[in-house]
Copies of this chain bind each other. A is one copy, B any other.
Amino acid sequence: MADEHPLSREDLAAALRGLSARYWDKHPFHVRLHAGGCSPDEVRAWVANRWYYQRRLSQKNAAIIANCPLAEVRRRWVERIAFQDGSGDGEGGLEDWLVLAEAVGLDPAEVRDERSVLPGVRFAVDGYVNFCRTRPWTEGAAAALTELFSPDLMAERIRAWQRHYDWIKPYGFAYFEHRIPVVQRDSEYTLSLVLEHCRSREQQDAALAALSFKCDVLRTILDTVDYAGLRR
C-alpha cells in the first residue's frame, strides 16, 4: 500500500465523507429511536449509557493533545475540553447531558455514578480513548470526523423526539442545541487538519481506518444498548 499514490485533497475529503454509510444513524436502534419506536426505558438506557461516552470525551481529547507537537493545533483542540467540562460548576456539555438525563426521567446522581453503564459500552468507549492515546494525533483527529455527520443527526433528533416523545421535558434539548453550531465549526477545522497533515498514502489510509474504527465504537454502543433491551 505504501507505494500507492497519495490521494488528492478532494479525493481524501470525499473518501472520509463517504464513510457516512458506516455512521450510527443507520443502526437499527437509532432508526427506532428517531422513529418513535423506543420505550421510555430504552430512551433512558441510551441517555445513561451515552453518559459514559460524554464523560470520557475530554480525556480522549487530552490524549490527542498529549500526542501533538504543534502548539497551534493544541491551542484549538483544547477548546473541546472547555466545551465539555465548562468554565464553572453547572456549565458545559457534561452538565447539559445531566439536564437531558433529568428531562427523560433519570436521576442525574444515578447517571453520574454510572450504575447503568453496560460493560460493552465501557469496553467500546475505553477502546476509543486508548486508540487516541496510542496512535498518532492525526488518527485521533480523523476519528473525531464523525462530527461531519452529527449536526444533521442532532437536528433531526430534536425534531423526532419532540414529535414522538412528548413526555421528554423540552429543557432537555439544551445539549444538542448548544452542540450543533460548535460541532459544525469543529468538523470543518478537523477536516482541514487531516487533509493538511495526512499527505502520504499510508497516513491517508490510516485516517480512513481511524474514522471507520470510530464508527465501530459508536455502533457498538448501540449494539450493546439494543441487545440489553432485547434480553429484558
Interface of A toward B, CB cutoff 8 Å: 28, 119-120, 122-124, 126-127, 130, 216-217, 219-220, 223-224, 226-228, 230-231
Contacts and interface: CB of A to CB of B under 8 A. Distances in A.
Contact of A223 (B127, B217, B227): B227
B227 A119 contact: no
How many copies, total? 2
A227 B228 CA distance: 9
Nearest to A226: B227
Contacts of A223: 120, 224, 227-228
Contact of A123 (B120, B228, B231): B120
Contact of A219 (B119, B127, B220): B119
B220 A120 contact: yes
B120 A130 contact: no
Contacts of A224: 120, 220, 223
A28 B230 CA distance: 12
A168 B231 CA distance: 29
Contact of A220 (B119, B130, B230, B231): B119
A223 B120 CA distance: 8
A28 B232 CA distance: 12
Contacts of A217: 119, 123
B130 A124 contact: no
Contacts of A120: 120, 123-124, 220, 223-224
Given A122-B127, A223-B224, 9 more contacts: A28-B231, A119-B220, A123-B124, A126-B127, A127-B127, A223-B227, A223-B228, A227-B227, A227-B230
Identify the interface centre among A119, A123, A224: most chain B CB within 10 Å of its CB: A123
Nearest to A213: B119
A226 B227 CA distance: 9
Contact of A130 (B130, B226, B227, B231): B130
A157 to B, nearest CB: 23
A217 B224 CA distance: 13
Nearest to A133: B130
5 contacts: A120-B124, A123-B123, A223-B224, A223-B227, A226-B227
Point out which of A122, A227, A228 has the most chain B C-beta atoms below 10 A from its C-beta.
A227
